[in-house]
Amino acid sequence: MKQGPLPSVDSPDDMTGPTDLPTCGPLPTRVGVTGSAPDEPLGVVAVGPAGAERRAVLATLLGLDPVMLTVPAGSWLVVRDAKVPTRAAFVPGYRQPHSYGADRDAAGPALARPPRRVELTVPEPLLRHFALIDVPDTATLGVSGTRVLLEAAGRAGALLFVIAADQAFTAAELNLLAEVAPTSVEVVFAVTPGAAGWAPLADGAATTEGAGASVPPVGGAQTEVDAVAVTVEAHRAALLAAVPALAGARWFPVDDAATAADLRRALVGWASREGLQRASVDPPVLPGQQGRVAVAANPGDWSERLDRHTRTCAQRIRQHLALELANIHLRAVQEIVFGVGCTGLPDLLDREMAALSLLATAQCDQAVRGIVTDVASRVLARRQPKACDAGSPTRCSTA
């Protein structure tokens, strides 16, 4: 056997033979921010560290009691608009959701394990513009949870990061924001009072521009300092030092319903612009406008080529998933040895399987688009347009 380096999983098959054999194109190797489809519903994903009163901010935006938004630790919360309030818990291993009472004092059924997500529907005009998605705290997401969050933010379109006045951005949170920054996702920041309020500066002291020393004001006059503005600017400066691409992101201090009104108007404005943009990406096409598509006189052995192409892509996807399962095994061992131990293994495996499912779906979608484009270019008289290559369902049937 000839010795040498092993071929990469992303490289075409190194089989010797005719060069016309179908090969599976590059496949996504990880779940991340992807472009939203034109028919994807709008959403705002709320994320942030523990202790930032993130759910209190969401409750203020919706005019609800924060108890209504309480879910088990590690569960996602999806809030949508509906005439009749409902609440359902989706537990891994069960096909049907478990119904909860929408009343804050209603007790739900005893579950074998925490639900993966809880869906709440309430009659709220704000939810007519977009859905609100609240995710677990950033410290508990891990590698797989962050990937699922990035995928959800890409489809939803907006990310609301909530941080308290006495908190600082962690390395994991900066990495998360750095991945979102170059994408089309709208990033909005909300700053809430910390345990000690807005932490104003000492009375009668002002900070100089040079070394940052505190000096008394000139003439002994008391200088009034806006503690809220100082706190927001300090957080913004710390963020831009690590992620300068988010210089255009908007910041909002949120303390009560009055201050949350600005954040509410900003989110509604984004939803209006984003909705129009998504609608203009794929405008409707009148039936018969594209004309008839001629069939090639001699399409060749397209059925055999379709079968070979399908088997090649299936093998590539299995290789990708096998490597990812090995990485999951390593992260599980690290969780047992260096993390919370065996008690955190069920939640870790659930997050890992959710991310693996998203990766397998994205790879299958990419492979099917390539297979359909290859076969259609041989059967039809001309190649399908680029919109079909991009997976537009309304363009693939016409050319």
314-364 pLDDT, tens digit per residue, is 999 999 999 999 998 998 898 888 877 787 788 888 888 888 888 898 889
pLDDT at 56: 92
CB burial of residue 212 (10 Å; 0-12, 13-18, 19+):
exposed
* Maximum C-alpha span of the chain: 93
Reported confidence tier of residue 172, pLDDT bands at 50, 70, 90: very high
Position 111 pLDDT exceeds 80: no
- Residue environment code for 238-252, b if the CB has 16+ CB neighbours within 10 A, otherwise e: ebeeebeebeebebb
pLDDT at 281: 81
Give the predicted TM-score (pTM) of the model: 0.77
Summarize pLDDT for 222-251 with one digit per residue, the tens. 557 788 999 999 999 999 999 999 999 999
Q: Who has greater pLDDT, 303 or 206?
A: 303
Domain spans of the chain?
43-201+226-281, 302-389
Q: Who has greater pLDDT, 12 or 91?
A: 91
CA distance 207 to 220: 15
CATH 2.60.40.1190 is right for the domain spanning 43-201+226-281? no
Position 78 pLDDT exceeds 80: yes
pLDDT at 217: 47
Determine the 3-state secondary structure of 145 from DSSP: helix
User: Does an H or E element contain 214, and which?
Assistant: strand 214-215
Q: What is the rounded average pLDDT for all residues in the chain?
A: 80
User: Token digits for 35?
Assistant: 């472009």
Angle CA 370–376–382, to nearest 5: 120
pLDDT at 23: 76
- Sign of the dihedral through C-alpha 29, 34, 40, 41: positive
CB under 8 Å to 223, separation ≥6 — which residues?
Answer: 204, 206, 217
CA distance 116 to 206: 49
pLDDT at 21: 62
Find the helix packing angle between 171-180 and 227-242, rounded to 10°. Answer: 70
